[in-house]
Amino acid sequence: MCCPSTQHVFYGRLIRGDRPLSGVQRIGFVLVGLLFCGSAIFILSGAFPQLFGIMGLTAGPMADKTVALAYLPVAALFLFSGLTVIVRAITSKGRKT
């Protein structure tokens, strides 16, 4: 294989924050991070509808509270991953010319 595929380059830059990013890549990484964070907030709003009701957001509770609590590690992973990607997109060095 002479060249890495575009998908491998994308995930390599997403995981390793030491590579320079272009402006388009920064925007894409921020959007991917927001997608992860939004998924985490959606899971958390189903697990804790009263908390989000205080903030003015309406969410229907999940049917079973034990299932909602089982999803909390997934929500934490999504939130941590999303914030990590956003921080890397904002703080990484620009493309070298």
User: Highest-confidence range of 13-22, 47-56, 65-74, by mean pLDDT?
Assistant: 65-74
Domain that holds residue 62: 38-92
Beta pairing partners, 43: none
User: Highest-confidence range of 17-26, 29-38, 46-55, 62-71, by mean pLDDT?
Assistant: 29-38
9 within domain boundaries: no
1 within domain boundaries: no
**How many domains are there within the chain?**
1
87 within domain boundaries: yes
Encode pLDDT of 58-92 as tens digits.
Answer: 666 666 677 777 888 999 999 999 999 899 888 87
69 within domain boundaries: yes
51 within domain boundaries: yes
59 within domain boundaries: yes
| Residue 32 pLDDT | 92
Give yes or no for residue 35 having a pLDDT over 70. yes
11 within domain boundaries: no
29 within domain boundaries: no
